[in-house]
Amino acid sequence: MSTAGPLQGAKVPLGGGETRPLRGAATRAAAELGGQRVRVTRRPVHGVLLLDKPLGWSSNDALQKVKWLLRAEKAGHTGTLDPLATGVLPLCFGAATKFSQMHLDADKEYEATALLGIKTNTGDAEGDVIEVRRVHVDADDVARVVPLFTGPICQTPPMHSALKKDGKALYEYARAGIEVEREARSVTIHKLDVALALADIELPAINMVVKCSKGTYIRTLGEDIGEALGCGAHLTRLRRTATGNFTDVQCVTLADLEAMTEEERLDCLLPVDALLVCHTRVTLDSDNTARFLSGVRRRGSWPDEKQVAVYSAEPHALLGTAQAQAGELIPGRLLSPLEIAQSQTQQATRVSREPAGTPQASSTTTDSREKVNHDQ
């Protein structure tokens, strides 16, 4: 399976003087301009875009491409996917970047294929073959090992990973031919379905469906299952199908984004509070809103809650996060008044383009607990 990166095309600046390869419609547009450098005017953009990351792209390259397509001033993502992987990659823009770290703790779901009998130095199809073994595995063998990798397990992070040791990423050591000691980490496999799949006559494979906690390396899981089967394995396919409450059916592809107008691209954005659906909602009146945005604790009758999303009553707008403790609402990450105003304008512009009677999208689940407070 080839995992080579996308073909290199024309280049345009993507901010900070950096240039990156354009693909698809952007390449054609650059060609029509006679190869001239295309400069874009950045603008404030706020929200979350669910990207179906394409094969062969790093998470950062995908982020920078979408940032360029949206002409966004500020962007970040909620955790990386390997170039080999495809699937759900939430991209945060503007005020949403303040809450991107909160999504790192979310459970993830994957579909993967591991080829049995061949080990590589990276644990996936991008690496060099380091060992080949004969495979004598049947469905009973697979069923026997699945319980060994379900529930809490320990994993040793792969050398080809972005984890850091002494301030240096492990993959940098690996590329220099240096292997360093790594401490095993505890992760949880909530669900693991494994089935044999015939890759060819001599090399069977296994298909895996995994729901796991943060920090789980599916490459390592595939390798470890291969070792338990006595033949070794390496990952040939990896797709993230869900992260937290976001699924791949909600995602948009880069090709689709390239073909859209600017307005259509903005319409793909979820509101900032899509990252906060598990938070308890608290709504403040105008006096308390002003004080809360200044970082002042508010007093009220709220029960203790570690995760609170705070809104203003009029206009209805996200103010930021907080925790409620001993009758106090303690500010956490806050939006600035400018970010709130820009988000309101962005939403109003979107609504004005929608046909009359179109239901408004809401990122808040119906079982969210909302508290309204007017105390001083």
Residues forming beta bridges with residue 317, ordered by sequence position: 312
Q: How many helices (H) and strands (E) does the chain have?
A: 9, 21
How far apart are the C-alpha atoms of 25 and 28, rounded to whole Å? 5
> DSSP character for 188?
E
Sign of the alpha-carbon torsion through 253, 257, 260, 264: positive
Rounded Cα–Cα distance for residues 182 and 175 (Å): 16
Q: Among candidates 203, 228, 212, 238, which has minimal Cα distance to 123?
A: 238
Write the Ramachandran bin of 342: left for phi over 0, alpha for psi from -120 to 50, otherwise beta: alpha
What is the C-alpha to C-alpha distance for residues 348 and 46, in angstroms, rounded to an integer?
13
Question: Cβ atoms within 10 A of the Cβ of 260, count?
Answer: 15
Look up 141 and say whether it is catalytic. no
Cα separation, 144 vs 228, in Å, equals 9
What are φ and ψ of residue 115, in 5° steps?
Answer: -85, 125
Distance of alpha carbon 104 from alpha carbon 11, whole angstroms? 32
Alpha carbons 194 and 112: distance in angstroms, whole number: 10
What is the C-alpha radius of gyration for the chain, rounded to an integer number of angstroms?
A: 24
Q: Name the active-site residue from 52, 82, 124, 248.
A: 82
Three-class DSSP category at 287 = helix
Q: Are 219 and 126 in contact (CB under 8 A)?
A: no
Greatest CA separation found in the chain?
74
Dihedral of the alpha carbons of 161, 162, 167, 170, in degrees to the nearest 10: 10
d(CA 231, CA 136): 8
196 in Cβ contact with 206 (< 8 Å): yes
| Residue showing tokens 């874009």 | 40
Active-site positions read 82
